[in-house]
Structure 1
Amino acid sequence: MVRNSVNKVYRCIRSSFIDQGFNHPFILIEEITHELLKIEKDSYERIIRMMSHEVNNSVGAIGSTLNVVADIFKQDGSNKWEYVLPAIEASFDRCGHLASFISNLAQVIRIPEPTFSLISLNEQARSVYSLTSIECRQRNIELSLSLTDNDQYIHVDGIQFEQVLVNIIKNAYEAIGENGRIKISTHHSPLSIIIEDNGPRISEEAKQKLFTPFFTTKSSGQGIGLMFVREVLTNHRCRFSLSTEEGYTRFKIFFPTADGIYS
């Protein structure tokens, strides 16, 4: 099994046949990306549905009980429960965070089919630049924009695709932390958009697992962002890659033309 940098998976088999008494070896290379992604998606969808059902039922009941207990303590009028109330409030907040975590997981399997329309690639880049520039400025990260002179229109779901780009840039500035550079560039030939940063490089081990469900290199990460990115880009029939080249980590997205061909 071989996985390359553009998220394609191949099965390689070495075999041989006998012809006129001579052994003829050959290597069969078969792409199985689609089959594996379907099996993978079916698996994590079942897990997420089960988790959502169990956790939401428990969290709802626990949250209601904590509210009742907190109200009883507050109405008591004495100060003997003061030390307990902060713990109850923290537990209630924790229930909310857990419900939010499960909700974020569930959103990955509820991504609707894209509603395609023609959108300017440069305008999409400008919009994402505006959305993320404040956060970058607060981190002292230089966010720059380089647009192709020959603007092109891409056939995408504008809302979904904008969220994809925001997630990619968010990953970039979180990886950098502070004091770095992020560049958004659009290209005419091939028709593509590239987001690059000078943050930590991606290790070879991580590269093989980048788009695996729930895999993350962040200590507090959930491994959901790249799942969403992969699902949306796959639904858009875009080719994409994430790798470190020449000291920069680059996320490249290539768009098919109207006839399905990549320029």
Structure 2
Amino acid sequence: MLNNQANSLALAILEEANTAFVIVNAELTLIYANPASEILLSQSRQRLSQQNLQQLASHYHFNPTYIENIFTHKNAFTESETTLFIDSHPVLVAISATYLNFENKDYVIIEMHCIEQQRKISQFHYQEHQQKAAKDLVRGLAHEIKNPLGGLRGAAQLLESELPDPELKEFTQIIIEQADRLTTLVNRLLGPQTPGQRGEHNLHSVLEKVRKLVNMDLPENIRIKIDYDPSIPDFEMQPDQLQQALLNIVQNAIQALNTLPDRKSKIILKTRTAHQVIINGVLQRLTAEIKIIDNGPGIPEHLKSTLFYPMVTGRSDGTGLGLSIAQELIKQHRGRIECHSREGYTEFVIYLPLTI
């Protein structure tokens, strides 16, 4: 009686577990999958149970050899990070496989735990720390440069007033113009320091202003498409600063698409709501999700980890400040920005908390 109770309890635990468990018998046929495995593997238990190990390995693109060897060596196996392709999308998981002999029959219990979210959070915190250090360094240098620039400009103006020959003033004007140009650059390096006056505004009004601005000078081979969710409510924002952040990202997309002038290109502005999003370590129940998608060449691999750093750019004529400023403005709105890119597809995703 006790064994039956224990078996029932064990089964109940597996059924309620958040971790995916599947069991394979000695014929390498899957004989059990718990509800969590249905969610992770995006297949019903009925469909999973109709497949053997080789079919599963082919479907999810993993090597079945280490599971087969467990039956031979009667041992265990753990892989802390491996990639399964689920619905054609790579998903990072931790896998453990353990040998079990039950009623003189051999089985392997496979435990799978998705670590994609944990990895993203870890990478986010690391990159955020690195970005903050880089921005603090750049801002410190900018402050040090700004004061001498003011003195240089003032000295040039005094010198200009004392020059007897008007033609010589051409040179002092060059000094003043270049000092002003550098001051503008330094001010951009310092970036926005305060969030500005906020109020409740409509997100799509801001996006439409961005679309109208870029359409005024949009190359003929580029089209901007919209896919808005009209149910997103007005929420607290500083519209001019949010517009600047979105404009910087859209302009970056246009510049990337301009490297492919001979083909039809598009930018998609898409909005949705997203639930249970972690922003700066805080779980937000409901957020506005803004996607800016283009079909350009993609972001070079060597730039992906430093994309939001100041002064990082893939263009010879770029300042590398647009995305850095955009990220700072999104942070001031208690939001998060991330980027996913491959050849032919780049997607910037912005999450902004909604008060409900």
TM-score by length of 1: 0.69
CA contact (8 A) 1:114 1:235 kept: no
Q: Distance in 2 between matches of 1:69 and 1:141?
A: 52
Structure 1 residue 104, shift from structure 2 partner: 3.4
CA contact (8 A) 2:131 2:308 kept: no
CA contact (8 A) 1:114 1:236 kept: no
Q: C-alpha offsets along residues 159-178 of structure 1, whole Å, 9 cap, x if unaligned?
A: 10011111111111122224
Cα separation, partners in 2 of 1:46 and 1:246, compared to 1, 3 Å = closer
Q: C-alpha offsets along residues 222-252 of structure 1, whole Å, 9 cap, x if unaligned?
A: 1121221111111212121123147221111
Structure 1 residue 210, shift from structure 2 partner: 0.7
In the other structure, the counterpart of 2:13 is none
Structure 1 residue 99, shift from structure 2 partner: 2.3
In the other structure, the counterpart of 1:144 is 225
Cα separation, partners in 2 of 1:163 and 1:71, compared to 1, 3 Å = farther
Deviates more, 1:31-40 or 1:108-117: 31-40
1:51 to 137, 145, 153: 145
Tell me which of the two structures has the higher relative contact order, counting C-alpha pairs closer than 8 angstroms and 6 or more residues apart.
1
In the other structure, the counterpart of 1:112 is 194
SS at match of 2:353: coil
Q: Are positions 1:188 and 2:273 aligned together?
A: yes
SS at match of 2:312: coil
Structure 1 residue 59, shift from structure 2 partner: 4.3
AA partner of residue 155 (structure 1)? E
Q: Distance in 2 between matches of 1:144 and 1:101?
A: 37
Structure 1 residue 192, shift from structure 2 partner: 0.9
Q: Are positions 1:205 and 2:302 aligned together?
A: yes
Cα separation, partners in 2 of 1:132 and 1:43, compared to 1, 3 Å = same
Cα separation, partners in 2 of 1:98 and 1:153, compared to 1, 3 Å = same
CA contact (8 A) 1:146 1:183 kept: yes
CA contact (8 A) 2:298 2:341 kept: yes
- The count of corresponding residues between Structure 1 and Structure 2 is 217
Deviates more, 1:55-64 or 1:247-256: 55-64
Q: Distance in 1 between matches of 2:335 and 2:241?
A: 13
From the CA coordinates, give the structure whose radius of gyration is larger.
2
Q: Distance in 2 between matches of 1:63 and 1:228?
A: 32
Map 1:48-127 onto structure 2 (within 5 A): 48-62=142-156, 65=159, 72-73=166-167, 88=170, 92=173, 96-97=177-178, 99-107=180-188, 108-127=190-209
AA partner of residue 124 (structure 1)? V
AA partner of residue 194 (structure 1)? K
Deviates more, 1:205-214 or 1:119-128: 119-128
Q: Distance in 1 between matches of 2:342 and 2:165?
A: 58
Structure 1 residue 125, shift from structure 2 partner: 1.5
Cα separation, partners in 2 of 1:57 and 1:203, compared to 1, 3 Å = same
TM-score by length of 2: 0.53
In the other structure, the counterpart of 1:233 is 330
